[in-house]
């Protein structure tokens, strides 16, 4: 059991972080905390991807000293996926934050339940 | 390689490039660019469909001419191109039908931005239809989420902002689950292209290893994309998001955005994981249960809603339930019925949203059903459009809904067992409930107005009238051309394997 935990430490941490982020995004009523939860959730996935993509003792596949054997390099695709994912989550975070600013200016609270209640009270 | 085989790539790139141009153009020109784009994409894909019909098999398009496993790929078959034609036609009609409303309800400096979003929705739709790469699919899932959120708040008031926020929250939960499913798939197989993943998964399952992770992947994909396509019980964001936005946004959201996720899920289950593995797990049963529950509860909610557009929105929950119940049968026939229902529902629901805004206008924007009396006479095009689409969803023969219900019950009969009884009973109950609320509305539209009701001055709008007749024609076509469409779906699904 202990060896399993030691061997898969990153994966276990990633899954725990994913769970924390997911529940924060789902259950927190504060919009800013929801956005933080979303970021934790996405970062956990990137941790999972990078930890699987990295092999100890190998380097990034950039040809500098003439070594062409694939055994000395790691697979660059997971890193590429993580980069793409980061771009996506940055833009999503920006959009969520701007929406939050708008909602706060209109309702003067960050609590999504109270905002929903106030919205139902007003006519459109 | 013939020139027509470039169409999938052209469709995606055209949408992206028009998005850039729409951002620079003034609102009026941008709207025509979007409408023209949808028309061009529809025509191109029609050309491809005719070609594919003769070609008889699917083909893989290498982006950048790098062979698999390195390059990114598109893949086209007759099913994808048929769906692309229908969805771009819906986009064209929704833009034309809602064009005047866009001027009224959107800040006129921002109309071109709404058009950018519409272009990007079409781009994401085309990519999700044609892509052969899971991570590309994920990127376009996110693009679709962002653009859909922007479309919801294109009409700016408190309700749309709150519903956009709630949509984003639910959608992000869905994307998170989808992304971790893709990550685990990549960890297990080391591939991102669909065919390669499928081959590795078949090998893995034959060796008996990793049975649990594969089930987990299926569950994550199902819940993730189920949340995003508003499957009951994850539908809580839907009524507000569809009910209060501009008619174009509602039509596009209900008929294109949610369908793209369902099609992606079908593609993942049918092509990436493979029917053999999917049917032996219990994920399909879960799908079936949620679908059947959605069929009933969506309709019940629709009966109790007092606002026309919210009613139409809740009926979406029921119709999405039909699609998932069909998929949940876990047979080829169930998939065919579900895909046909998806197509039919996309045509009918966009028609309902566009026409119900026309009807509400003809009744002084009142929310009460009693004020809708006689609206069918005040705006004849909208009245006919609403009635045809409603009858299609109820399942009157000749129209698409009848045929999809026929195929669904047929698939249930061939499935047999408890699935058959449950689905047949749910179909019967749900159809009755559909009749209750849709026929009530259609009859209301053609009753004499309430005493003392002041009808607003009629507004002439030939463009949206033409769009509504276009919707009528589209709905009739989907019903009348059911046989070729079903053949295309069946052949397309066979090409998936």
What tens digit of pLDDT does each residue of B229-243 get?
A: 999 888 888 888 888
Q: Give me the residues paired with residue A30 across strands.
A: A111
Across the interface, do A45 and B176 touch by the CB < 8 Å criterion? yes
Condensed to tens digits (0 to 9), the pLDDT of residues B277-306 reads: 888 888 889 999 999 999 999 999 999 888
What CATH number has the domain bearing residue A49? Answer: 1.10.287.3510
Interchain CB distance below 8 Å, A22 and B173: yes
Tell me if chain B has a CB within 8 Å of the CB of A101. Answer: no
**pLDDT, tens digit, 9 for 90 and up, residues B141-189:** 999 999 999 999 888 888 889 999 999 999 999 999 999 999 999 988 8
Q: pLDDT tens across B304-319, in order?
A: 888 888 889 999 999 9
Within 105-164 of B, beta carbons closer than 8 Å to A belong to 135, 139, 142, 145-146, 149-150, 153, 157-159, 161-162, 164
Say yes or no to pLDDT of B390 above 90.
yes
B172/A25 CB distance under 8 A: yes
A50 assigned to some structural domain: yes
pLDDT at position B137 is: 93
A102/B contact by beta carbon, under 8 A: yes
Give chain A positions within 8 Å (CB) of B162.
103, 112, 115-116, 119
- Which of B157, B172, B244 is the closest to A38 by Cβ? B172
Within-domain flag for A61: no
Residue A48 lies in a domain: yes
CA distances B47 to B11, B36, B40, Å, are 12, 17, 11
- Closest chain B residue to A43, measured at CA: B176
What is the interface size between A and B, counted as CB pairs within 8 Å? 86
Helix (H/G/I), strand (E/B), else coil: B67: coil
Q: How confident is the model at residue A123 (pLDDT cuts 50, 70, 90)?
A: low
Residue A31 contacts B, CB cutoff 8 Å:
yes
The model's pLDDT over B124-149, given as tens digits with 9 standing for 90+, comes to 999 999 999 999 999 999 999 999 99
Chain A residue with Cα closest to B234: A26
Residue of A54, A102, A111 best to disrupt the B interface, most CBs of B under 10 A: A102
pLDDT at B206 over 80: yes
Hey, is the C-beta of A104 within 8 angstroms of any chain B C-beta?
no
Report pLDDT for B99.
85
Written as six digits, the tokens of B359 are 């009807």
Q: Do B166 and A112 touch (CB under 8 A)?
A: yes
**Average pLDDT for residues B364-374, to the nearest whole number?**
78
Shortest CA gap A65–chain B (Å):
24
Contact yes or no for A92 and B165 at CB 8 A: no
Which residue in A has a C-alpha nearest to residue B146's C-alpha?
A92
Contact (Cβ atoms closer than 8 angstroms) between residue B181 and residue B272: no
Tell whether B192 is within 8 A of chain A (Cβ).
yes
Q: Flag if B183 and A45 touch (Cβ within 8 Å).
A: yes
CA distance A19 to chain B (A): 11
For chain B, percent of residues with pLDDT exceeding 90: 55
Closest CB to B176: pick one of A22, A52, A106.
A22
The sign of the CA dihedral A102, A108, A110, A114 is: negative
Q: Cα–Cα distances in Å, from B93 out to B196, B247, B279?
A: 38, 11, 38
Q: Which residues pair with B133 in a beta bridge?
A: B193
Indicate if the pLDDT at residue B450 is higher than 80.
no
pLDDT at B485: 92
Chain B segment 281-320 residues within 8 A of A by beta carbon are none
Res B388 pLDDT > 60: yes
Cβ–Cβ contact A115 with B under 8 A: yes
Number of domains in chain A: 1
Q: Which domain holds residue A77?
A: 2-56+73-121
Q: Kindly list the residues from chain B whose CB atom is less than 8 angstroms away from the CB atom of residue A118.
A: 158
Is there a contact between A84 and B179 if contact means CB atoms under 8 Å apart? no
Residue B324's pLDDT band, with cuts at 50, 70 and 90, is very high
pLDDT tens per residue across span A20-68: 999 999 999 999 999 999 999 999 999 999 888 888 888 888 887 777 7
- Burial grade of B171 (CB within 10 A; 0-12, 13-18, 19 or more): buried
Q: How far is B380 from chain A (nearest CA, A)?
A: 27
More confident residue, B106 or B291: B291
Are B142 and A84 in contact (CB < 8 Å)?
no
Q: Do A124 and B244 touch (CB under 8 A)?
A: yes
A96 interface with B at CB cutoff 8 Å: yes
> Are B146 and A91 inside 8 Å of each other by CB?
yes
Q: A95 to chain B: which residues are within 8 Å by CB?
A: 146, 149-150, 168
Q: Residue A76's pLDDT band (boundaries 50, 70, 90)?
A: confident
| Domain presence at residue A97 | yes
Give the model's pLDDT for residue A92.
93
A67 is a domain residue: no
Is pLDDT at A124 greater than 60 in this prediction? no
B39-53, B98-112, B389-403: least confident range: B98-112
**Average pLDDT along chain A:** 89
CB B57 within 8 A of CB B495: yes
CA B263, CA B277: separation in Å to the nearest integer?
19
Q: Which residues contact B408 (CB under 8 A, 6 or more apart)?
A: B322, B325, B326, B334, B337, B338, B341, B423, B427
Q: Is A100 touching B (CB cutoff 8 A)?
A: yes
Return the number of other C-beta atoms located less than 10 Å from residue A73's C-beta.
16
Q: Alpha-carbon torsion B228, B230, B231, B236, what sign?
A: positive
- Contact yes or no for A81 and B157 at CB 8 A: no
pLDDT value, residue B280: 82
Is A41 at the interface with chain B, CB within 8 A? yes
In a domain? residue A114: yes
Report the pLDDT value the prediction gives residue B124, as an integer from 0 to 100: 95
* CB contact A8 to B (< 8 Å): no
Half-sphere exposure of B26 (CA within 13 A, CB side): 3
Rounded Cα distance, A109 and B183, in Å? 37
Q: In angstroms, rounded to a whole number, what is the distance separating the alpha carbons of residues A95 and A58?
A: 38
Question: Is residue A52 included in any domain, yes or no?
Answer: yes
């Amino acid at each position: 059991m202990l060896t399993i935990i030691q061997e898969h430490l990153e994966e276990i941490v990633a899954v725990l972080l994913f769970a924390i982020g997911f529940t924060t995004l789902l259950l927190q009523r504060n919009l800013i905390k929801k956005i933080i939860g979303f970021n934790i959730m996405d970062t956990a996935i990137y941790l999972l991807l990078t930890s699987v993509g990295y092999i100890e003792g190998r380097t990034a596949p950039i040809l500098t000293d003439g070594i062409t054997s694939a055994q000395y390099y790691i697979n660059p695709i997971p890193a590429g996926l993580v980069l793409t994912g980061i771009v996506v989550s940055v833009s999503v975070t920006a959009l969520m934050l701007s929406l939050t600013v708008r909602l706060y200016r209109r309702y003067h609270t960050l609590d999504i339940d109270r905002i929903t209640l106030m919205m139902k009270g007003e006519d459109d | 390689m013939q020139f027509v085989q470039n169409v999938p790539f052209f469709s995606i790139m055209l949408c992206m490039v028009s998005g850039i141009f729409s951002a620079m153009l003034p609102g009026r020109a941008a709207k025509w660019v979007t409408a023209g784009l949808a028309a061009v994409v529809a025509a191109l894909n029609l050309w491809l469909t005719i070609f594919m019909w003769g070609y008889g098999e699917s083909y893989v398009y290498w982006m950048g001419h790098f062979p698999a496993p390195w390059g990114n790929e598109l893949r086209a078959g007759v099913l994808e191109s048929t769906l692309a034609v229908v969805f771009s036609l819906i986009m064209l009609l929704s833009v034309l039908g809602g064009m005047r409303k866009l001027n009224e309800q959107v800040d006129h400096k921002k109309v071109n931005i709404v058009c950018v979003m519409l272009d990007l929705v079409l781009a994401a739709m085309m990519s999700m239809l044609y892509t052969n790469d899971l991570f590309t699919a994920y990127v376009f899932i996110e693009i679709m989420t962002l653009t859909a959120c922007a479309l919801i708040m294109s009409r700016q008031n408190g309700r749309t902002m709150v519903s956009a926020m709630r949509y984003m929250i639910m959608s992000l939960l869905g994307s998170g689950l989808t992304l971790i499913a893709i990550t685990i798939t990549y960890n297990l197989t080391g591939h991102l292209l669909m065919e390669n993943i499928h081959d590795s998964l078949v090998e893995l399952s034959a060796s008996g290893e990793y049975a649990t992770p594969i089930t987990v992947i299926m569950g994550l994909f199902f819940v993730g994309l189920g949340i995003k396509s508003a499957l009951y019980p994850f539908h809580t964001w839907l009524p507000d998001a569809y009910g209060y936005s501009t008619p174009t946004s509602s039509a596009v959201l209900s008929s294109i955005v949610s369908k793209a996720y369902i099609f992606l899920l079908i593609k993942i289950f049918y092509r990436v994981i493979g029917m053999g593995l999917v049917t032996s797990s219990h994920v399909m049963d879960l799908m079936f249960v949620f679908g059947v529950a959605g069929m009933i509860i969506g309709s019940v909610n629709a009966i109790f809603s007092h606002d026309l557009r919210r009613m139409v929105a809740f009926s979406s929950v029921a119709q999405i339930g039909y699609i998932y119940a069909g998929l949940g049968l876990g047979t080829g026939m169930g998939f065919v019925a579900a895909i046909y229902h998806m197509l039919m529902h996309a045509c009918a629901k966009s028609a309902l949203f566009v026409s119900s805004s026309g009807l509400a206008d003809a009744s002084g924007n009142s929310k009460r059903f009693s004020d809708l009396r006689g609206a069918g006479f005040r705006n004849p095009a909208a009245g006919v459009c609403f009635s045809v689409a409603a009858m299609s969803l109820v399942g009157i023969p000749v129209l698409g809904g009848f045929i999809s219900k026929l195929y669904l019950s047929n698939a249930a009969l061939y499935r047999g067992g408890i699935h058959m009884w449950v689905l047949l009973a749910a179909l019967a109950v749900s159809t009755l409930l559909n009749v209750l609320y849709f026929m009530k509305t259609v009859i209301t539209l053609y009753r004499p107005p309430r005493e003392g009701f002041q009808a607003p001055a009629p507004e002439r709008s030939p463009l949206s009238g033409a769009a509504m007749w276009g919707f009528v024609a589209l709905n009739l076509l989907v019903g009348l051309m059911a046989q070729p469409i079903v053949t295309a779906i069946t052949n397309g699904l066979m090409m998936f394997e």
